[in-house]
Amino acid sequence: MPRRRAVLSAAGTALATALAGCPSSSTTPTAESTDAGGEAVGAADRAADSNSTGATTPSPTPVDGASGVENDSAYTEVYRDTIDSVVLIRNPNGSQGTGWLFDDGVVVTNAHVVGTADHVRVGFSEDETQVSEVLGRDNMSDLAAVRVEDAPDYADPLSLTASEPVIGTNVAVIGTPYGLRGSLSSGVVSGRNRLIPNPRANFVLPNAIQTDAPVNPGNSGGPLVNLDGTVLGVVNSGRGDNIAFAISPAMVRRVIPALVEDGTYDHPYLGARVGRVTAAVAEANDLDSERGLLVRRVAPGSPADGTLEEPVSATRVDGFRIPTGSDVILAVDGTGVSTRQAYLSKLFLDTSPGETVAIDIVRDGAEQTVSVTLGTFPDQ
């Protein structure tokens, strides 16, 4: 492994409250955003979809009693092993963010970092810079691919994890917060399978990784790595004290190769807005259990239109207005979906436009299966 540069001092303590890649990005997510199935998701419901657990970070770095010099910590080692593969990205509009070498000649970053630019300036750790072509961007997943024609010999592609990270895994965020190149912050994986809003595309991303590592403007597009230097996700946003998110490795593996090959990526589209079956929903719809997802709306002209049924009326339970008469989705191609996270994960990460999927539903009190051919998600 080539000699790595020493750890630079950290700076900046305020967490971004929105997309963290560009200094000018400060839009707070709206109360509702629309998922890939055509569903509007409220902030309170998003928070309730999955649980999170914190964990302690490693013990303080031991000190050599004889010399008084600190021994290298695990974070020092991961910094040395990855920093040469992490780049500063400058947009012609004056904003900046972070990226990392994904493959020979391909840098991964956020779509909101490159914006609408055709070319960006890419800077490596030893101040080597070059103007590079933006191969493609996908605003819905907030991912972009940049072609680096002449990456320095010391920059090696980083490995992307093949499995979901475990809650409590020690992690580091490496990037350029507030333009401070070569900065590292540390924490743990504090949650998995999050739904995070992308207000720029009126879209919700499934399977996001949550961390308590500090993320600031300029960190977006950078790698969230474990202490082996393996990338666990692409830093996307900070939402407040001790909460930040990274795009899942599964999404990266699906989107980036398509951006490199074609410059675009098509997301599957069903067009059914859904909500959890709570006790009140089950009571109002005479369901025998709190399972599945209630179809709340079917987008006109969508693949679900004419196949899935939306509410025809409503009633009140404990003072709350509950829609009635619609289908309840139990499974998609044999995978049970009891939460929006599971529903969106199945659609986005296991299906493609043009594919016909079997949807198990409850309609008028009886279970049945219907088939729907997925379309391409409308332009955002």
Residue 286's identity, in one-letter code, is: D
Helix (H, G, I), strand (E, B) or coil at 211: strand
- Give yes or no: 142 in active site: yes
Q: Which of 132, 186, 220, 326 is catalytic?
A: 220
Tell me, yes or no, if 112 is annotated catalytic: yes
Helix axes 249-262, 340-350, angle to 10 degrees: 30
Residue 220 designated active-site: yes
Tell me which residue of 3, 317, 32, 356 sits closest to 202, measured CA to CA: 32
The one catalytic residue among 33, 85, 95, 112: 112
Give the C-alpha separation, 181 to 233, whole Å: 20
**Pairwise CA distance, residues 145 & 125, whole Å:** 19
Phi first, then psi: what are they for 179, rounded to 5°? Answer: 80, 5
Between CA 209 and CA 194 the distance in angstroms is 6
N- to C-terminal Cα separation, the chain: 43
Which residue among 35, 142, 327, 360 is the active-site one?
142
Q: What angle do CA 70, 75, 77 make, to 5 degrees?
A: 80
Take residue 268 and report the two structure tokens written for it: 């599957």
d(CA 88, CA 79): 15
Which among 291, 297, 296 has a CA at the least distance from the CA of 277?
Answer: 291
Catalytic residues: 112, 142, 220
